[in-house]
Structure 1
């Protein structure tokens, strides 16, 4: 291990150049009976919440194995709805776009949010006003944001197509071309999501002691080495949590896509949640629609478990 790496490791542990790196073991708290008392007080509310959430879940599970509509459950068909969904090309097309939309939304908003959080950690002129302005894409209702973006790109007379026309690109219709529509939807998701990531990363960076960076700088670490070996490990737990939350937000994001493109053109931006909505409320096929929703839930559970295991592996000293 090089001297710089050893210095960074000592800096992470808060140990000086001649320190030993030993920490005082924490004393374990003795269990008390307060937890049981709190559980008894919370039990009525827990039972009520369980009943409120359990009934729709059970009813939806019944719908997914029956061939009915919004009024009647219909006859029992077993796993036929799941089989039909998994063999439907439209499902896999929507699943692919959902994957692209989610990966772009999660990592794009995280990268922008982390960069802005690190920038705002320093001394920025009018930093308070700047922070408020950066929160606007997340604070403003998505209906307003989607309407603004439609005005910006939807028609040939919109500002962005007009700008591309001045550059020599004619008939650039962002929401009529399938590829451009996908790009616009993904960029729009990053736009409305980066403030959330910025707040998460700002909170994580606040817990990092500035003296750690000073100690690493004294040991000869570069800015990139400090970011890779100090910043990223120390904020890894908050990073994984933010990825889990944003993955759930992206997969279940209906208004962003539906208000901007409606799932078009030619179903290019139809995600799984939009496909489930159409199947249930437009085609009135509740069985396949609910089956799509349960498949989405299963994937989200798997992703969440994997990321939670990564959180458990994080060892911040």
Structure 2
């Protein structure tokens, strides 16, 4: 009984409660509450100017985009109000759904392809390899080099029958593949190019996550007889899950909104085989001068990205709790 009373007293003391009940008006809990409220007010007033500035910067373009999406105007004039007609026309268009299918495939390959390559290289760099630091710097080059330079180099490698890679195939007796002229090969080439320029980002994200994992966890698992695959699947992947979901969210946004990778390499061709939603929106606004459908496509892309981000963010919260 005495031990229980003592434990109860200690618990109440940690909570700032007086022996006879709740703390008085000047007790520790009350002072802490006042300090917390004062700190919250201070943070609010410090953040308010930044929040107002962000709302003004992003709010006006959003409102203007909403106006353009509900009118049949051009780059010069707003046009007449048509309501949701632009969205209906876009959703009933075959070109939109072809672009949506390519965007989905492009995003899946871009996200998971770059993640798998980045994960493999991040795990490799954790081992003792000769000139590991130099190797890591070289692996960052596809991400560091400007996209214009990278796309020009890839065009030089695969664009024409006389380019280096088609010539190599021809000399090996495998024919002369037209990587940017054949619809299927062009789509594959664009996706491989996306993985090529994106895996360094994934590698750095995963390397940072792996660096925070305590090595003693693996030592304990080895002593318990865990195989390398068990250590990878039951220790490494769960411990880097939070960073993994964050990298997936970011890479999904990068892929869906990726205009230069596709446009500089293929221009959306051949026969629209590599036309993504962002390329289709660009053509609608700046080539066909129909801002309504183009902005409607952009709104649909944004809503899809918000849904995907929310779903992945829930996974981040679950992994944090676990």
> Normalised by the size of structure 2, how large is the TM-score?
0.88
Aligned with residue 164 of structure 1, among 161, 169, 172: 169
Per the alignment, in what secondary structure is the counterpart of residue 140 of structure 2?
Answer: helix
Alignment match, 1:104: 109
Q: Aligned pair in 2 of structure 1 residues 316, 166: CA closer, same or farther (>3 Å)?
A: farther
Alignment match, 1:286: 291
Q: CA deviation at 1:238?
A: 0.4
TM-superposition CA deviations, 1:71-90 (whole Å, max 9, x none): 21110101010000000000
Per the alignment, in what secondary structure is the counterpart of residue 194 of structure 1?
Answer: helix
1:262 to 2:267 alignment: yes
Q: CA deviation at 1:39?
A: 2.6
Whole-angstrom CA distance in 1 between matches of 2:97 and 2:134: 44
Alignment match, 1:8: none
User: Does the 8 Å CA contact 1:233/1:316 hold for their aligned counterparts?
Assistant: no
Q: Aligned pair in 2 of structure 1 residues 315, 44: CA closer, same or farther (>3 Å)?
A: closer
Q: CA RMSD in A?
A: 1.5
User: Does the 8 Å CA contact 2:242/2:320 hold for their aligned counterparts?
Assistant: no
Structure 1: runs of 5+ lacking an equivalent? 1-26
Alignment match, 1:181: 186
Per the alignment, in what secondary structure is the counterpart of residue 172 of structure 1?
Answer: coil
Whole-angstrom CA distance in 2 between matches of 1:269 and 1:263: 5
User: Does the 8 Å CA contact 1:174/1:180 hold for their aligned counterparts?
Assistant: yes
Structure 1 runs of 4+ with >6 Å offset: 27-30
| Superposition pairs of residues 1-317 of structure 1, within 5 angstroms | 31=36, 33-315=38-320
Which stretch has the larger CA shift, 294-303 or 46-55?
Answer: 46-55
User: Does the 8 Å CA contact 2:156/2:163 hold for their aligned counterparts?
Assistant: yes
> Normalised by the size of structure 1, how large is the TM-score?
0.89
Structure 2: runs of 5+ lacking an equivalent? 1-13, 16-31
Alignment match, 1:9: none
Determine which structure has greater relative contact order: mean sequence separation of CA pairs < 8 Å that are 6+ residues apart, divided by chain length: 1
Q: CA deviation at 1:125?
A: 0.9
Per the alignment, in what secondary structure is the counterpart of residue 203 of structure 1?
Answer: helix
Whole-angstrom CA distance in 2 between matches of 1:96 and 1:174: 20
TM-superposition CA deviations, 1:89-144 (whole Å, max 9, x none): 00000000000100000000000101111111121211111111000000000000
Whole-angstrom CA distance in 1 between matches of 2:284 and 2:113: 30
Whole-angstrom CA distance in 2 between matches of 1:316 and 1:223: 26
User: Does the 8 Å CA contact 1:64/1:81 hold for their aligned counterparts?
Assistant: yes
Per the alignment, in what secondary structure is the counterpart of residue 33 of structure 1?
Answer: helix
How many residue pairs match? The answer is 291
TM-superposition CA deviations, 1:35-81 (whole Å, max 9, x none): 32133123222212211110010000011011000121110101010
